């Protein structure tokens, strides 16, 4: 099966995208991952100044998923550009940068520095609280649009807006991001969650509430893809959330995503991309699909009798 896929202005050799925060700065992942099987890999999100992140515990296994409250620990964009930038060319995969900020202007300033580092696209991580009202940018179409517009103005690179499944109206936020110049949307990020150990009575995370990821969130992410594709059929989508197998990738493609992110699966299996590409090829042979692009949006509705 030809795995090539078009994502707005980008052509990817494979639909697999390594999700931000699950493959470090990408350069560290080269030795342990199988990045040659991915169409792109997204570096950990970076802000203007260094953010220390939250104290431990910051990761907590919960059922078949994982709860994290890292607090977007990062060295700040200048240090990131100096340390990581020169090594991006050696990764063998197109690397996308990921920007965060506490104001729309900060998003723009980070993108301006990042665009000179050799990244091939910029993801705007909107799951970050806005300094103005403490609410995630991704929850409010106006705030999301301002952050995306600031990044759009700062770079000529393709821009992807990473939205949040916690948003009460994901279609409105996607439309606002596209209106502000996003070339594609990423659906989505982690789902808010929490855990408490009944023995110690302590929460699983020092920050109490964090991001839930892994297989249990797949139906939520898939619902987001279906909603956005229905309302905005020409807006390219990177789907993802809970992907573990080739069949999960096919599910997101059928729902209407052009590419599919792998995240938490990397913590258990750093070379998951290689296995999943093999599973995609087997699916293609079994269903006589020669071009992966033919699967995009190709789900069959139930026909009602009578």
Torsion of CA 110, 116, 121, 123, to 10 degrees: -10
Q: In which element (H, E) is residue 226 found?
A: helix 218-231
Q: Using CB under 6 A as the criterion, what x/- string covers residues 7-46 for binding ligand FMN?
A: ------------xxxx---------------------xx-
From 128, 154, 225, 253, the catalytic residue: 128
* Residue 212: φ, ψ to 5°: -95, 135
Q: Is position 258 an interface residue for ligand FMN (rule: CB under 6 A)?
A: no
CA distance 114 to 132: 24
**Judged by CB under 6 A, which stretch of 64-72, 148-156, 168-176, 230-238 contacts ligand FMN?**
64-72
CA distance 213 to 192: 9
Q: Is position 276 an interface residue for ligand FMN (rule: CB under 6 A)?
A: no
Q: Is position 240 an interface residue for ligand FMN (rule: CB under 6 A)?
A: yes
Q: Using CB under 6 A as the criterion, what x/- string covers residues 186-215 for binding ligand FMN?
A: ---xx----------------------xx-
Q: Which is nearer to ligand FMN, 128 or 178 (CB)?
A: 128
Instruction: Output DSSP code: residue 33.
Output: S
Torsion region of 67: left, alpha or beta (phi above 0 gives left; psi -120 to 50 gives alpha): beta
Closest distance to ligand FMN from the beta carbon of 217 (Å): 5
CA distance 191 to 210: 8
Q: Verify whether residue 224 is a known catalytic residue.
A: no
Closest distance to ligand FMN from the beta carbon of 119 (Å): 14
**46 within 8 A of 21, measured Cβ to Cβ:** no
Q: Which is nearer to ligand FMN, 85 or 241 (CB)?
A: 241
Beta 65-68 vs 210-213: how paired, if at all? antiparallel
Closest distance to ligand FMN from the beta carbon of 40 (Å): 13
List the catalytic residues.
Answer: 128
Site of interaction with ligand FMN (CB under 6 A): 19-22, 44-45, 66, 68, 70, 72, 98, 125, 162, 189-190, 213-214, 217, 240-243, 262-264
């Amino acid at each position: 099966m030809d795995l090539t896929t078009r994502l707005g202005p980008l052509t990817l050799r494979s639909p697999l995208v390594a999700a931000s925060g699950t493959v470090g700065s990408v350069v560290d992942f080269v030795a342990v991952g199988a990045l040659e099987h991915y169409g792109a890999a997204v570096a950990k999100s970076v802000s203007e100044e260094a953010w220390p992140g939250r104290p431990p515990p910051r990761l907590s296994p919960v059922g078949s998923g994982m709860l994290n409250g890292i607090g977007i620990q990062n060295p700040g964009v200048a240090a990131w550009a100096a340390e990581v930038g020169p090594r991006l060319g050696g990764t063998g995969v197109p690397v996308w940068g990921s920007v965060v900020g506490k104001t729309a202007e900060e998003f723009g300033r980070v993108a301006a520095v990042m665009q000179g580092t050799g990244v091939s696209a910029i993801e705007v991580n909107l799951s970050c609280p806005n300094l103005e009202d403490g609410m995630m940018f991704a929850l409010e179409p106006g705030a999301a649009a301002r952050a995306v517009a600031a990044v759009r103005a700062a770079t000529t690179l393709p821009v992807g807006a990473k939205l949040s499944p916690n948003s009460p109206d994901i279609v409105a936020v996607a439309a606002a991001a596209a209106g502000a110049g996003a070339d594609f949307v990423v659906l989505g990020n982690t789902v808010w969650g929490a855990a408490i150990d009944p023995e110690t009575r302590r929460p699983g995370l020092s920050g109490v509430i964090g991001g839930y990821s892994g297989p249990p969130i797949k139906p939520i992410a898939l619902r987001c893809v279906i909603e956005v594709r229905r309302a905005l059929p020409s807006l390219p989508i990177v789907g993802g959330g809970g992907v573990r197998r080739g069949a999960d990738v096919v599910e997101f493609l059928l729902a209407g995503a052009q590419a599919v992110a792998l995240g938490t699966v990397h913590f258990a299996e750093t070379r998951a991309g290689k296995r999943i590409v093999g599973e995609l090829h087997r699916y293609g042979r079994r269903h006589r699909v020669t071009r992966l692009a033919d699967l995009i949006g190709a789900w069959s509705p139930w026909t009602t009798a009578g």
